[in-house]
Structure 1
Amino acid sequence: MKILVTGGAGFIGSHVVEALLKRGDEVTVVDDFNDYYDPAIKRRNLAGVLDHPSFRLVEGDIRDRALIETLLQGEFEVVVHLAARAGVRPSLKDPVLYETVNVIGLLNLLEGAVQFGKPRFVFASSSSVYGLSPRLPWREDDPVDCPISPYAVTKRMGELLCYNYNHIHGLDTVALRFFTVYGPRQRPDMAIAKFTRAILQGDPITVFGDGSAIRDFTYVGDIVDGVLAAVERRFGFEIINLGGAQSITVLELIQAVSRTVGREAKLIFQAPFPGDVPATLADSAKAQRLLGLSPKTSIDQGLQRYLEWLVP
């Protein structure tokens, strides 16, 4: 298949690109290599596929409507939309940037998709849309009217736009709600990356709150399996959780990282951070039913793989 992957140089995107190429797809990546974190990291993510005969890289911004329209004339069968400004905490500082990239950028892609062939559209959403929804584990039909960060709002808006373009234009869309993805190549601002680096260097780890916040950590390989399964199916419109592997508290996570690294962690406690939710936990029944997907990587296995990648 001919597949366009937006944000394909990023953490999750580069793994998806490699998996698609491995199975024989023709892949075009569009990525702007912005400075949210060191662009050199993202370039290294793609270093192993740049010479692949079925790979093409386009450097550009999804907010550039003319670029997106030109790209989508390439008769793609599927668009995997992973490009976004990520992160809850940074979105509090610059919500306008998050709105323009995550919403206007998505609109450009949806408009282009409708205009040029209506490729199946796989949208990367986020567990953050559940916000303060009280019932755990979270199911796709739970209320999502209480997001508590601009990032979460943009992801919920993205889901609604996907529904709208399916309803009005018949565009086949699926929104995959990712739950705290980790693993090799993860962004340096993510918790496991920061915790591991601090323990290796003997630096203290800052814990916001008392460390009892719960997160559903999902290994990147399990996420890739979900994306590839979604690429193969027609849904009309669906929202599907990708998570449910293992939920642990922040303190338990730090202990697990310490075990993996083989060193003790030093902790500093600070007040909770606005925008952080107290718990995330995915109900994965729908992913099992529609995608045949069950997360299979435990946190200890995933942390070991991450450390082996970080310290080869």
Structure 2
Amino acid sequence: MSVLVTGVAGFLGLHVAEALLARGEAVLGIDDLNAAYDPALKEARLRRLLGRERFGFVRGDVGDPAFLDGWATQHGGDVTGVVHLAAGRSRKHPSHPREEVHQRIAGHLVLLALCRHRLPQLRHLVHAESGLPLPEDSDGTAGARRRKALRDAEIILGRAYARLYRIPQTCIRLARVYGPWSRPDALCQALADAIAAGRPLLLPEGGQVVRLAFVEDVAAAIVSALDDPPDPRSGTPYRLLDLAATEPVEMARLVSLLEDELGQVVEKRWGPAPPGAAAAALDDGAAAPDRRPATRIEEGIARFVVWHRKHYGRTLEEGRAAPL
């Protein structure tokens, strides 16, 4: 028996795969290693998994029905769980809506069809839906409306397959995830890069607060959810699990923690928040977390910086102020 992890060379995919392998699961990984951001980082993550006992990898696009059909012919009979993380979000999507629709919706629909037709032992499908807006999003913009429509479409499709074909599913909403092996465009990564290079930081005025979740805590929550599928005999075996309502962290404190760990203090410049920043900031009415973080922010930042120093162990080029 095995677990399929799509997007296995991604930031969260790597940590979910490692958590599953650590407890003795067989993991089958799929990733197309696309250029949404530096493919070399994805390849470095993948090298941590390749050669591990009980891990197998195939490069391919989960939005391609022919590829998945061929993959299922060899591996589908043993899959009991799926963690679908391949539909990540790219910052080039605002000007490429067709690519976003393909990645988010077509890929999700193809995977649902795979679960229905080609995975006879499947007990549970877990997939991640990012509920956090991009910084450039703001209420009423075409990009914000499109992203909301795509999130709604993913849930509608999932509920339909759960009800009609009794496929137990959990949709997980995520906060900003940080930690070792993070994406280059992630908040902590952008801050750390600027601080390590001694570049001034352009920060939003008004004491902005963000919610952060350490990647290993999120991976553990996903694996725990995978172990507890909704009852397939229920009316619609589909649930939403909110992991976005994590502990709040003030931006100024986050910068201070990174400066302390990196041993570098940089100039801060304060300016108006960019469009959409209010939507990405803390909502005072946010729900309580479904799972309290096991890693305190001080520990998480320290562990992130250890990795950052090792992976980016060079002097970063000087540049202009890094806006957030």
TM-score after normalising by structure 2: 0.82
Matching residue of 1:68:
68
Quote how far apart the aligned CAs of 1:211 are.
5.5
For the residues of structure 1 that align with 2:295 and 2:153, how far apart are their CA atoms? 30
Aligned residue identity for 1:175: C
Contact 2:132–2:176, Cα closer than 8 Å, also in 1: no
Unaligned runs of 5+ in 1: 134-145, 288-292
- Structure 2 distance, partners of 1:243, 1:298, is 16
CA displacement at 1:93 relative to structure 2: 2.6
Q: Distance in 1 between matches of 2:216 and 2:296?
A: 11
Structure 1 match to 2:210: 215
Are the aligned partners of 1:16 and 1:224 in contact in 2 as well (CA < 8 Å)?
yes
Q: Which residue of 1 aligns with 2:83?
A: 80
Match of 2:248 in 1: 247
1:148 touches 1:275 (CA, 8 Å); kept in 2? no
| Distance in 2, Cα, partners of 1:104 & 1:272 | 34
| Aligned partners of 2:177 and 2:214 also within 8 Å | yes
What does residue 175 of structure 1 align with?
A: 171
**Following the alignment from structure 1 to structure 2, what is the Cα–Cα distance between the partners of residues 162 and 36?**
25
- Equivalence for 1:122: 126
- The structure whose Rg is larger is 2
In 2: Cα distance, 1:177 partner to 1:211 partner: 27
List per-residue Cα deviations over 1:137-185 (Å, max 9, x = no partner).
xxxxxxxxx9936445423322222112112211100001111100000
Is the aligned partner of 1:104 residue 2:106?
A: yes
Gaps of 5+ in 2: 231-236, 311-324
Report if the CA contact (8 A) 1:81-1:121 is conserved: yes
The answer as to 2:151 corresponding to 1:155 is yes
- The alpha carbon displacement at 1:273 in A equals 3.4
- Among 215, 220, 227, the alignment partner of 1:225 is 220
In structure 2, what is the Cα distance between the partners aligned to 1:284 and 1:226?
15
The CA RMSD over aligned residues, in Å, is 2.5
Q: Is the 8 A contact 1:218 1:244 kept in 2?
A: no
Question: Residue in 1 aligned with 2:192?
Answer: 196
Residue 39 of structure 1 corresponds to which residue in structure 2?
Answer: 39
For residues 160 and 17 of structure 1, what CA distance do their matches in structure 2 show?
27
Correspondence for 1:51: 51
Report what 2:314 is aligned to.
Answer: none
**SS of the counterpart of 2:49?**
coil
- In the alignment, residue 100 of structure 1 is paired with which amino acid? H
TM superposition shift of 1:29: 0.8
Give SS of 2:57's match.
Answer: strand
The CA deviation string for residues 11-57 of structure 1, in whole angstroms up to 9 with x for no partner, is 11001111111111111111010111111111111212211231111
| The one of 299, 302, 306 aligned to 1:301 | 299
Aligned residues of 2:138 and 2:275 also touching (Cα < 8 A)? no
Question: How far apart, CA to CA, are the structure 1 residues paired with 2:146 and 2:267?
Answer: 31
Contact (CA 8 Å) 2:19, 2:219: kept in 1 or not?
yes
- Per the TM alignment, residue 274 of structure 1 is displaced from its structure 2 partner at its CA by 3.6
1:4–1:28 Cα contact (<8 Å) kept: yes
Measured in 2, the distance between the counterparts of 1:188 and 1:245 equals 22
Provide closer, same or farther for how the CA distance between residues 247 and 90 of structure 1 changes in structure 2, counting only shifts above 3 A: farther
More displaced stretch, 181-190 vs 295-304:
295-304
CA, structure 1 residues 17+162, in 2 after alignment: closer, same or farther (shift >3 Å)? same
Per the alignment, do residues 156 and 128 of structure 1 end up closer, same or farther by CA in structure 2, a change over 3 Å counting?
A: farther
Q: What residue in structure 1 maps to residue 321 of structure 2? A: none
Q: Single out whichever of 48-57 and 214-223 deviates more from structure 2.
A: 48-57
Structure 2 letter corresponding to 1:224: A
